[in-house]
Amino acid sequence: MRRPSRARLTLAAVAAIAAALALAAPVAPVAPPAAGAPRVLTLEIRGPITGGTAEYVEAGLAKARDGGYAALAITLDTPGGALDATREIVQAMLASPTPTVVWVGPAGARAGSAGVFLTLAADVAAMHPTSNIGAAHPVTGSGRDVAEEAGKDMAKKVENDTAAFARSVAAARGRNADWAERAVRESVAITSADAVKQRVVDFTATDLRLVLDAADGRKVKTAAGESTLRTRGAALEPYEKTLRQKVLSFLADPNVLAILMLVGTLGIALELYHPGSLVPGVAGAFALFLAFMGMRVIPVNAGAVILLLVGAALLVVEAYVTTHGLAGVAGTACLVIGLLFFVDRASPDYRFDPGALTISPWIVWPTPIVVALALGFMAWKIAGSRRRPLQLGAPGLVGTAGEALSDVGPAAGEVFVHGEYWQARSALPIPKGARVRVVAVDGLTVKVVAEAVAAG
C-alpha cells in the first residue's frame, strides 16, 4: 500500500508546485503592493483587432468588475481590425462600471483605424509622445478604398455608418467628435501632441505607470455613475490571454492560415491515395480545422480557398498520374493566385491599415515550389518502388535464399525461407542444413536448388 500512497503524494506535490508557478508567473515581475494600495488590471492589444481580441477585453472587463479593481488599463498598438469585434469592445467599455484607461504605446505605437474607436471609448486616453492615431477611413483587407471593390453605394453606406459610430463614441466620452468624424471620412492621422491639442486624448506619457499617476484624481463617468480615479502607485496585475484567445490571435495571421490550408489539403489527398496510413489524414484534418477556425477571425476570399484546394489536388495528381507536367504547372499557378487573393479584398466589415493583413512574398512564391518539389520527390520514390520486384506473396519468394531443414529431393523436404517454413522439392538431392534458393512456387510447395548451383 505504500507505493500508491507515495505516488499520490508525489503527484499532489508536483501539481501544487505547478499550480503555484502558474499563478505566480503573470505577476512575478510586479513588486509587492503597499498595504491598501489600489490595484489596476492591465491588458495588452498588439496587432490586428479580431474576435479573439474582443473575447480577451470582455473577459478582462469582467474580471476587473468582479475583482474590485480601481481601473482596467489597456496598452494599445494596432493597425486596425474587424468592425464587429471593435463594436463589441467599445460597447463593453462604455457599459463597464470599472473605469478604463487606454495608453497608445510603447514608443512608435499607433492606434490606427479600428484602434481609434478603442482610444475614444476610454475614460482616460493617453499616448506615448512618439505614437500616432487616426486613419479610420473604411478600407478593405488590401488597404484599398471600399468604393474600388464594393461600389460607391456600399462605400457611402459604410462611411456614413462608421462616421456616426465614431461621433457617438467621442461624444460619450467628451472628446472631439468633429475630429473623430474626419478620421473616418478624410482618413486624417495626427501625432500625440496634436491629439492632446485637439482633445482626442487627455495627455501624453512615456509609460503606463506615469499614465496612471497622471490619471489619479480625475472624475470619470462610468456605467455605475461618476467616480474619482485612485490609481497613483497602483499595483499592476497583468491579465493573460487564455489558450483559446492565444490560438485565435495566432490564426489572425493570413500567412498561417494559407499554410494550414495547403498542409491540410495535401494531408487529406495523401490519405486518399494511401488509405490506412492515418498520419497524413489526421494531420491534414487538424490543419484544416484550424484553418476554418481562422477564417472566422479574418476576412478570407472563398474563391482563393477553392483555388488553393484545386491547386493542391492538381499537384497530387501530377505526383501519381503522368500528365507531362501540365497538372503540376496548373496546380502551382492555382496556388500562387490563391495566395495572392487569399485575404478578402471586398469585405466592407473590416477596417485595416494598408499592409495590416497581407500574405508575405516569402509565402506566396516559395511555398508552391516547395510543395511541388516535395510531391516530385514522393513521385520519384513511388516510381522506384514500382520498379523493384514484388516482395509480398508467392512471387516475392522467387530468388529468396534459405536453409534446408531436412533432406530435400524430388519427393519431399522442408526448408526455412523468408521467415517461414515451406514444403520443398528439388530435382537433385540437397542435404539437411545446406543453403538453398527458391526458383519457383507451386501452390504451397517451393522448388529449390542448392545455393552453390544457383550461384553457378
432 within some domain = yes
Is the pLDDT at 120 greater than 90? The verdict is yes
User: How high does pLDDT run on average in the chain?
Assistant: 77
How large is the average pLDDT for residues 50-68? 92
Residue 166 shares a structural domain with residue 214: yes
235 within some domain = yes
CATH number, position 58: 3.90.226.10
Between 331 and 425, the higher pLDDT residue: 425
* Residue linked to cell 497583468: 238
Q: pLDDT band at 359, cuts 50/70/90? A: low
Phi-psi region of 237 (alpha: psi -120 to 50; beta: other; left: phi over 0): beta
Distance of CA 435 to the CA centre of its chain: 60
Q: Give the pLDDT score at 173.
A: 95
Overall pTM > 0.95: no
Q: Give long-range contacts, CB 8 A cutoff, 24+ apart: 215-222.
A: 215/71, 215/101, 215/124, 215/126, 218/124, 220/99, 220/123, 220/124, 221/123, 222/96, 222/97, 222/98, 222/99, 222/123
Query: What would you report as the CA-atom Rg of the chain, rounded to the nearest whole angstrom?
Result: 34
Residue 237 shares a structural domain with residue 202: yes
* Residue finishing a domain among 387, 407, 425: 387
Residue 337 shares a structural domain with residue 451: no
CA-based nearest residue to 418, from 431, 399, 440: 399
Residue 272 shares a structural domain with residue 336: yes
Highest mean pLDDT among 18-27, 58-67, 139-148: 58-67
1 within some domain = no
Residue 28 shares a structural domain with residue 156: yes
Give CA–CA dist 267/103, Å, rounded.
45
Number of folded domains in the chain?
3
Highest mean pLDDT among 50-54, 143-147, 148-152, 392-396: 50-54
Give CA–CA dist 225/275, Å, rounded.
65
Residue 108 shares a structural domain with residue 234: yes
* Residue linked to cell 513521385: 379
How large is the average pLDDT for residues 325-332? 74
Give CA–CA dist 112/115, Å, rounded.
5
Residue type at position 51? G
14 within some domain = no
Residue 71 shares a structural domain with residue 114: yes
* Residue finishing a domain among 220, 244, 268: 244
Residue 147 shares a structural domain with residue 80: yes
207 within some domain = yes
CATH number, position 448: 2.40.50.140
Residue 314 shares a structural domain with residue 402: no
13 within some domain = no
Across 80-109, b (16+ Cβ under 10 Å) vs e yields bbbbebbebbbebbbebebbbbbbbbeeeb
CA-based nearest residue to 270, from 306, 321, 330, 319: 319
91 within some domain = yes
pLDDT tens readout for residues 211-267:
999 999 999 999 999 999 999 999 999 999 888 878 777 777 777 777 787 777 777
pLDDT tens readout for residues 390-420:
555 566 678 888 999 999 988 889 999 877 8
Residue 73 shares a structural domain with residue 214: yes
What percent of the chain stands above pLDDT 90? 37
CA-based nearest residue to 367, from 338, 344, 325, 326: 338
Q: pLDDT band at 136, cuts 50/70/90? A: low
CA dihedral 166, 167, 171, 173 (to 10 degrees): 10
Is the CB of residue 112 less than 8 Å from the CB of residue 78?
yes
Pick the range with the lowest mean pLDDT from 78-92, 160-174, 188-202, 360-374.
360-374
Burial tier of 326 (Cβ tally within 10 Å: 0-12, 13-18, 19+): exposed
How large is the average pLDDT for residues 116-120? 96
Residue 171 shares a structural domain with residue 259: no
269 within some domain = yes
Residue 266 shares a structural domain with residue 237: no
Structural domain boundaries, residue 334: 253-296+302-341+358-387
